[in-house]
């Protein structure tokens, strides 16, 4: 599996497996299947409610901890220095791990400055190999970088053929932040699985639309964490390293960019309020 090198030297697999919206009662089997398929990079979050199931699958797999890259995320209402430490300890316990490879601030709301200070301390203690953020827009990311000691290693943001974030990726690269895509397949929206451009490119390479979209992101240097509950799709999503898109292919996909989220805008006050109403049990 190809790796990207984060700004502190940590190696991160460029392709991983996400469990967003996988019900807790299904997650253990889904992650077990993903690990059996060959995934070694797992992404979850406290708010997903399935950390314990991820942890059980990891333990049952017998795979050495050193072979895995595990990410989870801090929710808004667990912010602040004390709250972050408690939330981190709870996530680590639920996962059954001694350390995290990557810990992210899940949303750019609440007292995330205090959370970042706590995360810097946890990183210094060796409990987290790398710390980062998720869903931060450029202004908040740069502000966090300018006013803290440690630059986020990763920013996990919505990135896919319809919302490509190319300019933002360039800004992150200058600042030493690795872009990671959530929703690399646009969560199935905008009829992505019948898109004529992606279909034509896939036919030329003997690959599926999902494989083309993931390969396009990987060739841009974007870390991807596709999700599936079907073992055959898990295997398909991993099978993207035996072909390469041409410059023309890359340009044709680049022309698909709408510059608009297919999910929601984190700067929308209504969404800020809705997210603020979600609690982690």
Q: Which residues pair with 13 in a beta bridge?
A: 3
pLDDT of residue 80: 86
- Map out the domains of the chain with their CATH numbers: 11-276 (3.20.20.100)
> Contact, 20 vs 48, CB < 8 A?
yes
Among all chains, which residue has been given the structure tokens 């872009």? 179
pLDDT of residue 277: 80
Question: Global pTM?
Answer: 0.95
* Active site residues per annotation: 48
Q: Which two structure tokens, joined as six digits, stand for 15?
A: 């392709």
Q: Which two structure tokens, joined as six digits, stand for 13?
A: 């697999």
C-alpha 117: how far from chain center = 22
Q: Which two structure tokens, joined as six digits, stand for 94?
A: 């639920």
What ranges in the chain are assigned the alpha helix state H?
24-37, 51-61, 81-95, 112-124, 138-146, 166-175, 196-205, 209-219, 231-238, 247-254, 269-276
Backbone dihedral region of 157: left (phi > 0), alpha (psi from -120 to 50 degrees) or beta?
beta
Tens digit of each residue's pLDDT, the chain (281 residues): 999 999 999 999 999 999 998 999 999 999 999 999 999 999 999 999 999 999 999 999 999 999 999 999 999 988 889 999 999 999 999 999 999 999 999 999 999 999 999 999 999 999 999 999 999 999 999 999 999 999 999 999 999 999 999 999 999 999 999 999 999 999 888 999 999 999 999 999 999 999 999 999 999 999 999 999 999 999 999 999 999 999 999 999 999 999 999 988 888 898 888 888 888 87
Angle ∠(152,43,127) on CA atoms, nearest 5: 55
Give the whole-angstrom CA distance, residue 68 versus residue 12.
Answer: 10
Give the whole-angstrom CA distance, residue 202 versus residue 206.
Answer: 6
pLDDT of residue 31: 98
Give the whole-angstrom CA distance, residue 177 versus residue 273.
Answer: 28
pLDDT of residue 79: 81
């Amino acid at each position: 599996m190809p790796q990207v090198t984060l700004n502190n030297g940590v190696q991160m697999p460029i392709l991983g497996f996400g469990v967003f919206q996988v019900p807790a009662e299904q997650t253990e089997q889904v992650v077990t299947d993903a690990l059996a398929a060959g995934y070694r990079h797992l992404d979850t979050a406290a708010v997903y409610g399935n950390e314990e199931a991820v942890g059980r699958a990891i333990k049952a797999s017998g795979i050495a901890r050193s072979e895995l890259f595990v990410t989870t995320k801090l929710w808004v209402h667990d912010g602040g220095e004390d709250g972050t430490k408690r939330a981190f300890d709870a996530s680590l316990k639920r996962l059954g791990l001694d350390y995290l490879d990557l810990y992210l601030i899940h949303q750019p709301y609440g007292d995330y400055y205090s959370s970042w200070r706590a995360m810097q301390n946890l990183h210094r203690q060796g409990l987290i190999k790398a710390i980062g953020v998720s869903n931060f827009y450029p202004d908040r990311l740069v502000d966090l970088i300018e006013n803290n000691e440690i630059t986020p290693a990763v920013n996990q943001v919505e990135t896919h053929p319809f919302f490509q974030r190319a300019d933002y990726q360039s800004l992150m690269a200058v600042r030493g932040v690795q872009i990671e895509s959530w929703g690399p397949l646009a969560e199935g929206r905008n009829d992505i699985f019948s898109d004529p451009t992606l279909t034509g490119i896939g036919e030329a390479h003997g690959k599926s639309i999902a494989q083309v979209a993931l390969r396009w992101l990987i060739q841009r240097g974007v870390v991807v964490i596709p999700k599936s509950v079907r073992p055959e799709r898990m295997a398909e999503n991993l099978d993207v390293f035996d072909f390469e898109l041409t410059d023309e292919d890359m340009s044709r996909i680049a022309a698909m960019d709408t510059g608009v989220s297919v999910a929601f805008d984190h700067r929308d006050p209504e969404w800020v309020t809705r997210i603020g109403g979600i609690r982690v049990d």
